[in-house]
Amino acid sequence: MTITTILEKLPYGESFLFVDTLEYIDEQKVTGSFTFRPEMDCYKGHFKTYPVTPGVLLTEVMAQIGLVCMGIYLTGGPAGLSFGLTSTHVEFMRPVLPGEKVTVTGEKIYFRFGKLKCRVTMINEQGETVSSGELAGMIIGPDKIRNS
C-alpha cells in the first residue's frame, strides 16, 4: 500500500484532517507531519491573549498519524473501515503555537484481535519532544458503529 493510498483512505473530512504528509510507514513504524495553521478556529478562543494548541488536538494529530495511518497500512484499509480510540496515555512537555509544524512517529506495540496499540511521539521543528505516550484503538467496520 502506498502513502498516497493511505492518505486517501483516512476517514476524516477537511476540517478534521490533521495529517499533511506521511514520510515513512511499514509494519512497525510510521512518521508523518502536520502544520497548525494560524487561522484554525481553535486559536480564536483557546487563551485569547496567548493562543496555544489544545492538548486534545495534539492527541488527535498523534492518533491520526501514529495510530490510524498505521491501522490502514496493516489492514489494507478496506472500504468503510473506521477507528475508535479506546485508550490514551499522553504527556505534554511543550506548547505548540499557531504556525508550528510537528512531526509524529508511531511505533506498533501490538496489533491483535482488531486492537492496535502504539507508542507515539510528537516533536517540533527544533527537535524537542512536545508530547509522547501510548494510544490504542479498535479497528471496526461500519456495521459495528451504533448510536446509543
- State the DSSP string of 108-147: EEEEETTEEEEEEEEEETTS-EEEEEEEEEEEE-GGG---
Residue-wise pLDDT tens digits, 18-48: 999 999 999 999 999 999 999 999 998 888 8
Q: What is the pLDDT of residue 140?
A: 78
Q: What does the alpha-carbon distance between residue 70 and residue 116 come to, in Å, rounded to a whole number?
A: 9
Question: How many C-beta atoms surround the C-beta of residue 144 within 10 A?
Answer: 11
User: Which domains occur in the chain, in start order?
Assistant: 3-143 (3.10.129.10)
- β-bridge mates for residue 33, sequence order: 21, 103
- β-bridge mates for residue 136, sequence order: 87, 117
Q: What does the alpha-carbon distance between residue 78 and residue 111 come to, in Å, rounded to a whole number?
A: 17
Residue-wise pLDDT tens digits, 133-148: 999 999 776 555 444 3
Read off the pTM.
Answer: 0.92
Predicted confidence (pLDDT) at residue 125 exceeds the cutoff of 80: yes
Report percent pLDDT > 90 for the chain: 75
Sign of the dihedral through C-alpha 65, 27, 131, 135: positive
Q: Which residues are catalytic?
A: 46
